[in-house]
Amino acid sequence: MIQLKEILTPSQVVVNAHVTSKKRALELVAQTIAENCNELDVHNLFEHLIERERLGTTGFGNGVAIPHCRIENCQQPIAVVLKLTTPIDFDAIDNELVDILVGLVVPNNATDEHLQLLKQIAALLSDAQACKQIRSSTSSQELYQILTNGVSGI
């Protein structure tokens, strides 16, 4: 089974991201992924993320969102993590503002991997201790280490 740490690099982790809306957050997710994956076009990726949001919010609750999509020209799964400077309205299921986003893009035919990764990310972000450590991180490298080496105390 593929692990989050296999599809995440330090350049795909952004701490203190300043966005003011759900749209801007999705633009930053698309931009960060496209910068780290040459075969993906930022505009096409953004449109796929918006299209997925129209089906239903990816605002998971507890200040967390997991925007995700499957896309045709994606060769392998890729993730991005954003820790926002200021929480934003993301139409979350619990109506809370969101300050942690984990964006996920997978190949169009990778249904099983997509579901496994979503389950893994949701499990991590359902843990209060994990979210506390993520929120207390002060650099992209520190957050990357937390996400790839495991959260202490859980």
Known catalytic residue: 114?
Answer: no
Angle at 40 between CA 38 and CA 123, to 5 degrees: 105
| Rounded Cα–Cα distance for residues 38 and 11 (Å) | 14
> Among the options 43, 48, 68, 114, which is catalytic?
68
What are 37's two structure tokens? 């994956």
| Rounded Cα–Cα distance for residues 137 and 149 (Å) | 14
| Rounded Cα–Cα distance for residues 128 and 22 (Å) | 23
Judging by beta carbons within 10 Å of its beta carbon (0-12, 13-18, 19+), is residue 61 exposed, middle or buried? middle
**Residue whose entry in the numeric block shows the structure tokens 């990726």:** 45
CB 44 within 8 A of CB 53: no
Q: Show which residues are catalytic.
A: 68
